[in-house]
Amino acid sequence: MKNTISDDSLLDKFDIALLDALQKNADATHQQLGEAVHLSPSQVSRRITRLHASGIIRRTVALLDPAKIGLGVRAISYVTLLRHGDDEGAAFEREMATFPEVLECFAVTGESDYILQIMAASLNDLSESVLRRLTRIKGVGSIRSNIVLQSIKSSTELPLAQLRRG
């Protein structure tokens, strides 16, 4: 059973199982991963190298607990630009790269032009350090923010069911 993802890469059931296992625990040893997906550690190593080289695995990271490192406020902000020319959007997008507090920035359709996920230590930091700086970016018309009260679900694991259908 092979699934074509792009012209350069084919994923079989072992690759899919390996991706699933890595999303759950990227710290697992090749031995542990091999036991989970029924491959030898050397086969796991070769497959992981191939998955990195193909770009399917972009990078491996450590996921930190925001509250335990002093980031107690999460906001979802909706940004609308004054004009919709290429220059304003490009300038805004360049600025977003300079904001470490902005975890995600999505260009969207609908009432807003961008949706941001922002982490800050406090409401004051969010207001003073982040939102005030955002309003000073040329071309920003309005910012509407919602403060997250409770995280019901937060995951970095991508669904893989579509790969199994092949």
Q: Which CATH class for the 66-147 domain? A: alpha beta
Per CATH, 2-62 and 66-147 having the same topology is answered no
**Lowest-pLDDT range of 58-67, 82-91, 99-108, 127-136:** 82-91
Task: Give the pair of three-digit tokens for residue 92.
Answer: 């805004």
More confident residue, 9 or 164: 164
Task: Give the pair of three-digit tokens for residue 142.
Answer: 């309005």
More confident residue, 164 or 124: 124
Q: At 6, is the pLDDT very low, low, confident or very high (cuts 50, 70, 90)? A: very low
Tokens 């032009």 -> residue: 113
CA dist., res. 145 & res. 152, Å (int): 18
Give the tens place of pLDDT for each residue, 11-23: 999 999 999 999 9
User: In the CATH hierarchy, which fold is given to the domain comprising 2-62?
Assistant: Arc Repressor Mutant, subunit A (1.10.10)
Query: Contacts from 82-87 at CB under 8 Å and sequence distance 24+?
Result: 82/139, 82/140, 82/141, 83/139, 84/113, 87/139
Give the tens place of pLDDT for each residue, 32-80: 999 999 999 999 999 999 999 999 999 999 999 999 999 999 999 999 9
Domain spans in the chain, listed from the N-terminal domain onward: 2-62, 66-147
Bridging pattern class, strands 2-6 and 102-107: unpaired
What's the confidence (pLDDT) of residue 166? 61
Percentage of the chain exceeding pLDDT 70: 93
Do 44 and 33 meet the contact criterion of CB atoms below 8 Å apart?
Answer: yes
